[in-house]
Homo-oligomer: A and B are copies of this chain.
Amino acid sequence: MSKSEQTRQRVADVALRMFREVGFEKTTMRAIASEAGVSVGNAYYYFASKDELVQELYRQVQDEHAALAEKALTEQSAAGRTDLASRLKATLHTGLDVMAPYHRFGADFIATAIRPTSAVNPFSSDSAEAREASLAIFKKTVEGAKPQAPKKLRSDLPELLWLGYMGITLFWVYDTSEGQRRTRRLVDGAAPLMARGLQLARIPGVGKIIDEVLDLSRSVRK
């Protein structure tokens, strides 16, 4: 590893550790630089802004989620539990597991991420790669499920679930209950309800409405 890469890595490591330990706002660029043994300007040579350090954090959280979810899904399959509700629970709970150390400061990260101009914004094109990776987890969750979801929903489902996951994350940020158990309960309750709700798509009257909802959702996404 070149000296340049080492410096970059050291800055990133220090930043992420400090984010975890003292939070986003209290971690100043000066503190990061000093702790990493470089000047402020040098930290900026590698990361154009504090936001870019958050981006680094997201990447790491996401990689970890992908690995943990994959592992949990595989174990469940081996044990014969292949229903969508169980798989969804596994994916959502592992997501919460990975984010847990950052809960105290989650709000700051969300505030950063939500700006359309932010590179970390989950809907922006800058983070397309990260979003695809996250979507892939939900694709895997849905595709490996038996019985499969109703055909008409299958293709849109991962994206809708991912959107739901964003909502759950928002809920989690505001969840001050101990260990965020209310969010855990939400996941445990919502996963089976969603799985069962999907079956309703087979009832004629419901199916028609769902078609229209999907049409609208597609047209509005352009």
A interface vs B, CB < 8 Å? 107-108, 110-112, 114-117, 123, 173-174, 177, 182, 185-186, 189-190, 193, 196-197, 200, 203, 205-206, 209, 212-213, 216, 219-220, 222
Contact = CB atoms under 8 A, between A and B. Distances in A.
A114 B117 CA distance: 16
Counted per complex, copies of this chain come to 2
Contact of A173 (B116, B177, B197, B203): B116
A28 B209 CA distance: 49
B115 A222 contact: no
Contacts of A111: 111-112, 114-115
B209 A197 contact: yes
A117 B107 contact: yes
A190 B220 CA distance: 11
A123 B112 CA distance: 18
B200 A205 contact: yes
A182 B221 CA distance: 8
